[in-house]
A and B are shown apart, each in its own frame.
Chain A
Amino acid sequence: MTFFDIFQQHEWETTQASIYAKTAADVERTLAKQGKRDLEDFKALISPAAQPYLEQMAVLSRQLTQKRFGKTLQLYIPLYLSNECTNSCVYCGFRHENETTRITLNEAQTLREATVIQQMGFEHLLLVTGEHPRQNGPDYLKKMLKLLRPMFAQISLEVAPMKTEEYQSLVDEGAYAVYVYQETYNAGRYAGYHPRGKKANMQFRLETGDRCGEAGMRKIGLGCLLGLEDWRTDSFFTALHLNYLEKRWWQSRFSVSFPRIRPFEGSFEPNSIVTDADLLQLICAYRIFNEEVEIALSTRERPAFRDNLVQLGVTTMSAGSRTDPGGYTENNKELEQFAISDDRDPETFTTMVRSKGYEVVWKDWDMCLQTR
């Protein structure tokens, strides 16, 4: 069994209708509930009926987050290794059809980038690539992990989905986590967003979490791209996915992220607008639904928004990010996957976090804990 089997038991339209049918009484019952909340509770929390309860949700979310994670915020930084991509995702700056310079960093270039990152104080690194099996596939990533492993405490990947054996080989080289966002769980619309390339295979993508779990990946990151389809319905499916994976791959930990569509090269306009209040509601809903899941928020979001979310459910943030390969040594805006909204340097960012009464955690892993 994989998530695909679970997925097929849920239809988009009826799921959507059931979320929008939730009432104030459902929300109140969920908020008053003792013990763990379930998927029906999650529907109530993300429903329009919960909007008037946002303050209560925020209070609860903060309390639950502090209990589990303390007054701390973990920091990571992405390292974009390659923008070469054979996919045609209509919303992405790296899409194959975009006529831009294509770069895949070699070892020397990667080391230069990594050194700059290290000097900023980062211990948790996220490697990012497009999907180009020849240029940035498993063999390339293995090489990069070998190179970077001695320099960082934790290395995670946001790269193209792979086979289980390929993931296993990356775990052996020190990979800690894989982030794979489904983008949308709307089967009727998925093909329209991903017309060509390997990513057009929706089932293979839906089963990625299962393959990561089987390979022994320590953390699996989920999410959908907010702005494609109705965010409530897509988020329900993400929660369904999370719920299934947690039970099936019980030795992995999980994280959810909330990429909201931002302007980029190629100007894709979001189909569904996710407001700041919506995103806050969603983050609080996740925390109330799942007390243990890690919640990440990237520099796609504006400083004023991020600053306030430090206390409300988010556990992990990036800072000082560049989304163009080579960007830490020489920023090239043309090559960016998306524009950064929060361009504060790590020092300014950590000062802000501390001013909120939170400790910045640079290191929460050690390569010595994952023996080969």
Chain B
Amino acid sequence: MEPLIIQGREFSSRLFTGSGKFSSNQVMEEAVLASQSELVTVALKRIDMHNENDDMIAHLKHPHLHLLPNTSGVRTAKEAIFAAQLAREALGTNWLKLEIHPDPKYLLADGEETLAACRELAKDGFIVLPYIQADPVLCKKLEDAGAAAVMPLGAPIGTNMGLQTRDFLRIIIEQSTVPVVVDAGIGAPSHAAEAMELGADAVLVNTAIAVSENPVAMAHAFRLAVEAGRIAYEARLAPRLDKADASSPLTSFLYNL
């Protein structure tokens, strides 16, 4: 399996994980370790940035794990930029999952504000991974604005509905020059495998692991699915045919002439 490279950093795992919704920080840590994920997103609102002993952060202190702080909760570019700057200072990382969803019900991203914030933050030295709708044009604009990767959704956050945006993800993957991370909506390992088979560079999974009966086992299942999907993609899938080969080829008459 080829390693994934985002802004010069190499990842041997193509599964990114979230840290919310777990029944305890201990379970979260075990699940993240079982997933072999190397990038974990953490909501700024859930942690105490100024407390070195923050319990959630303490459970994520492993040499192979990188934190990806997210701005969940902000409604505008201005709020996102302010929060990002504080996070960089307090957490010592310039990696950022840019989330601007002014709609608290479906947590759908505001493309306009996200683009504006991405432009500013990239200029300011941040490695920006924006969470967005599966909008191919917006993804290209974000690339131009300096995004290190794009994170289009498969379905609204937490819905576990799978790749509802499949046809648009295909276009995004085809056109993108930065890694495409399918984020949100992935509810089962089969969804993750499907995204990887489509050619996504990575997937981010949180709810489906955290809320399952056995988060550690589920994290393991997602690891296997992401690997299987990626290996299949690299091995190039056999084409899907609508029907069996025609029994009377259309060109066979040539031999009878």
- A335-369 interface with B by 8 A CB criterion: 354, 357-359, 361, 363-366, 368-369
Given A70-B20, A72-B21, A369-B83, are A250 and B44 neighbors across the interface (CB < 8 Å)? no
Given A70-B210, A359-B22, are A364 and B46 neighbors across the interface (CB < 8 Å)? yes
B136 within 8 A of A: no
Residues of the B chain whose Cβ atoms lie less than 8 Å from the Cβ of A2: none
Residues of the A chain whose Cβ atoms lie less than 8 Å from the Cβ of B75: 251
| Interchain CB contact under 8 A, A71 and B71 | no
| Interchain CB contact under 8 A, A366 and B20 | no
| Interchain CB contact under 8 A, A252 and B83 | no
B79 within 8 A of A: yes
- Produce 1/0 per residue, A55-72, CB < 8 A to B: 000000000001111111
| Interchain CB contact under 8 A, A368 and B82 | yes
A275 within 8 A of B: no
> Which residue of B21, B44, B45, B103 contacts A71 across the interface (Cβ within 8 Å)?
B21
In the complex, A68 Cα to B107 Cα: how many Å?
Answer: 11
Of all chain B residues, the one with the shortest Cβ separation from A70 is B21
| Interchain CB contact under 8 A, B79 and A359 | no
- Produce 1/0 per residue, A302-330, CB < 8 A to B: 00000000000000000000000000000
| Interchain CB contact under 8 A, B102 and A369 | no
| Interchain CB contact under 8 A, A253 and B48 | no
A26 within 8 A of B: no
Question: Number of contacting residues on B, CB 8 A?
Answer: 33
In the complex, A368 Cα to B74 Cα: how many Å?
Answer: 9
| Interchain CB contact under 8 A, A354 and B104 | no
| Interchain CB contact under 8 A, B24 and A363 | no
In the complex, A20 Cα to B210 Cα: how many Å?
Answer: 40
| Interchain CB contact under 8 A, B102 and A251 | yes
- Produce 1/0 per residue, A245-262, CB < 8 A to B: 010001111000000000
Of all chain B residues, the one with the shortest Cβ separation from A293 is B105
Question: Number of contacting residues on A, CB 8 A?
Answer: 28
Q: What is the distance, in angstroms, from B226's C-beta to the closest C-beta of chain A? A: 22
B25 within 8 A of A: yes
Of all chain A residues, the one with the shortest Cβ separation from B106 is A292
| Interchain CB contact under 8 A, A371 and B79 | yes
A267 within 8 A of B: no
Given A253-B104, A354-B24, A371-B79, are A67 and B45 neighbors across the interface (CB < 8 Å)? no
| Interchain CB contact under 8 A, B86 and A68 | no
| Interchain CB contact under 8 A, A71 and B104 | no
| Interchain CB contact under 8 A, B104 and A251 | yes
Q: What is the distance, in angstroms, from A77's C-beta to the closest C-beta of chain B? A: 17
Q: What is the distance, in angstroms, from A331's C-beta to the closest C-beta of chain B? A: 29
A370 within 8 A of B: yes
In the complex, A364 Cα to B104 Cα: how many Å?
Answer: 14
- Produce 1/0 per residue, B196-237, CB < 8 A to A: 000000000001001100000000000000000000000000
Residues of the B chain whose Cβ atoms lie less than 8 Å from the Cβ of A357: 23
> Which residue of B25, B105, B160, B207 contacts A292 across the interface (Cβ within 8 Å)?
B105
In the complex, A123 Cα to B86 Cα: how many Å?
Answer: 19
Given A67-B158, A67-B160, A251-B104, are A366 and B45 neighbors across the interface (CB < 8 Å)? yes
In the complex, A28 Cα to B207 Cα: how many Å?
Answer: 28
> Which residue of B46, B82, B211 contacts A361 across the interface (Cβ within 8 Å)?
B46
In the complex, A205 Cα to B48 Cα: how many Å?
Answer: 37
Q: What is the distance, in angstroms, from A147's C-beta to the closest C-beta of chain B? A: 19
Residues of the B chain whose Cβ atoms lie less than 8 Å from the Cβ of A253: 104-105
| Interchain CB contact under 8 A, A252 and B104 | yes
B47 within 8 A of A: yes
In the complex, A252 Cα to B102 Cα: how many Å?
Answer: 8
> Which residue of A68, A361, A368 contacts B44 across the interface (Cβ within 8 Å)?
A368
In the A-B complex, list the 6 residue pairs whose CB atoms are closest, starting with the nearest.
Answer: A70-B21, A71-B23, A253-B104, A371-B82, A369-B73, A368-B86
Other A-B pairs, 7, CB within 8 Å; known A71-B21, A71-B211: A251-B75, A292-B105, A357-B23, A359-B23, A366-B73, A369-B45, A370-B79
Chain A to chain B contacts (Cβ below 8 Å), 20 pairs: A67-B159, A69-B21, A70-B23, A71-B22, A251-B75, A251-B102, A252-B104, A292-B105, A359-B23, A359-B25, A363-B45, A363-B46, A363-B47, A364-B43, A365-B45, A366-B49, A366-B83, A368-B49, A369-B45, A369-B79
